[in-house]
Structure formats: C-alpha cells, structure tokens
Amino acid sequence: MKKFLVLCVSALMLLMAGCGGEQASAPASGKAPAKDAQPVELHVAAAASLTDVMKELADTYEKDHPGVKLVFNFGSSGALQQAIENGGETDLFYSAAQKQMNALQDSGNLVEGTRKDLLENEVVLVVPKEGGKDIKSFENLTRSDIQHVALGEPKGVPVGQYTEEVLKKLGILDQVKAKAVYGSDVRQVLSWTETGDADCGVVYATDAAVSDKVKVAAKAPAGSHKPVIYPAAVIKGTKHPDEAKDFLAFTSSDAAKKIFEKYGFTCK
C-alpha cells in the first residue's frame, strides 16, 4: 500500500511539472498571436471613361502593395462629385473635367496640395461598326434620317458638356437636341451606340478604342470645346491620407503613364 501511494504522488508531481512546462511556453502577455492585419481599403471615385485603365492600374499597384485594396466607384463625374459632397466614403477622386473638381475645391473637400492635372482626352463621334448609317461629320447629325443621337446628360456628365460646346460652336445644338437621348455616363452612351439603339453617339476617343462594336466617324473640330483634362486629388475626409497620396503618386509615375497611353490617354 505504501508503495502504491508513493507511485501516485510521483505521478502527480510529474503531471504538474508537465503542465508547468506548457504554461512557461505561452506568450508572456497571455494573449494569442494576432491575426494578419487586414489590407487598407482605398475608395476611389473615378469617371466612367477610366473604368478599364483603372482596373489594370489597380492590378499592378496591388501586386507591389499587398497591404492596400482598391475599391472603385465608377460613374459620371457629376454624380461622383455629389456623392462626395453628401459624405460618401471616398479617398481619391479622378474627374473627367475641371468643373466637378473645382466645385469640390471651392467647398473645401480636397486635401490641399494634392490636386493635379493628370490626363487629356479627345471627343469623338462614333457609329455602330456593322450596319450603321453613313455619318462622316458632326454636321451630318442634322440629316432627317438620323433619328437618335446618344449624348451624355450635360448637367452632370462631362462628355455631354463638351458635346454641347461642339454643337453650339457648329450652330446645330438645337437641331441635335431634338434627337438626343441622354445617358447617365459616357459608357451608357457607348452601349446605346454599340447595340444600335442610337444611330450614333458622342464619347471620348478612349471609350471608342476599347470597343470592337463601334468606329469613329469624326473627331470634334479643333477649338470647338474646352480641353478635356482629367484632374485628380485626395479627398479631405480620407481615413488613409498616406496610402491615398501614394496611389495618387503612382498614377503619375512612368509605369502608370505607359498603361494610360496604352488605352489612348495623353499624360500631362
């Protein structure tokens, strides 16, 4: 019996020693190791005409910056401006015109010193690649057989604003407005032209270049509209100013310029 008690005590002491060893190997804080940090999400508001190029830029940037995830909101520059003014979560804004960026600057929504003119584009008249009508110039839009002309809504869609300048300069604005169907952004104008729902449409040269369903019928005459400049800036309400500034700098880099030029943009 005595031997049995000794064995039990010895076993208990060994078990306690083993438990003590396990406790000694735990972190001094007593806390479990932290999980990998989640990537910073940068919310980028960008003009619809930047959709394709921005997606490629994001792929390139995220490979070198695994701690950042880019989340895009594409649309008309006017709608994006309003969303920012209404408090929508946005870290950076890439506009297709100065008007919307000017409004945000005037209302104090930009981080001082971050605004820059990034790109330039052209305004073109496009028609369906197959089965479209024989349209050679903006002046042809007054012909009786042209019934539906797709345009950007001029109040909030920059391409619509540039288009009205062109048509006014040519003296045919009222005639064309009678045939106009207005899209909520430039990509809707492009889509209506691709499908033949419109006889033609006015878009940017870069939009025409990414579509295999339309062809350029004419370029806007030189001097018929303001230069199509794309400004960019960091938004004042950003929660990630350093990351936002870094991505903005990347989109001005030589590597980014090559990508922009591949899509037909002219870099400033």
Give every strand in the sheet of 40-47, ordered side by side. 68-75, 40-47, 92-94, 228-234, 116-121, 266-267
Q: Mean pLDDT across the stretch 66-82?
A: 97
The confidence band for 6, taking pLDDT boundaries of 50, 70 and 90, is: very low
pLDDT at 1 > cutoff 80 = no
Q: How far apart are CA 216 and CA 210, in angstroms?
A: 12
Q: What mean pLDDT is reported for the chain? A: 90
246-255 residue pLDDT tens = 999 999 999 9
pLDDT at 25 > cutoff 80 = no
Kindly tell me the sign of the dihedral angle through the C-alpha atoms of 178, 184, 190, 195.
negative
Buried b / exposed e over 151-184, threshold 16 CB at 10 Å, is bbbbebbbbbbbbbbbbeebebbeebeebbbbbb
pLDDT at 37: 72
Residue 184's closest CA among 55, 72, 263, 82?
Answer: 82
26-46 residue pLDDT tens = 334 344 444 467 899 999 999
87-109 residue pLDDT tens = 999 999 999 999 999 999 999 99
- Nearest-10 crossing angle of helices 158-170, 98-106: 120
- Domains annotated for the chain, with CATH where assigned, are 41-120+228-267 (3.40.190.10), 123-219 (3.40.190.10)
Q: How far apart are CA 76 and CA 151, in angstroms?
A: 13
pLDDT at 3 > cutoff 70 = no
Weakest-pLDDT range from 3-7, 73-77, 156-160, 245-249: 3-7
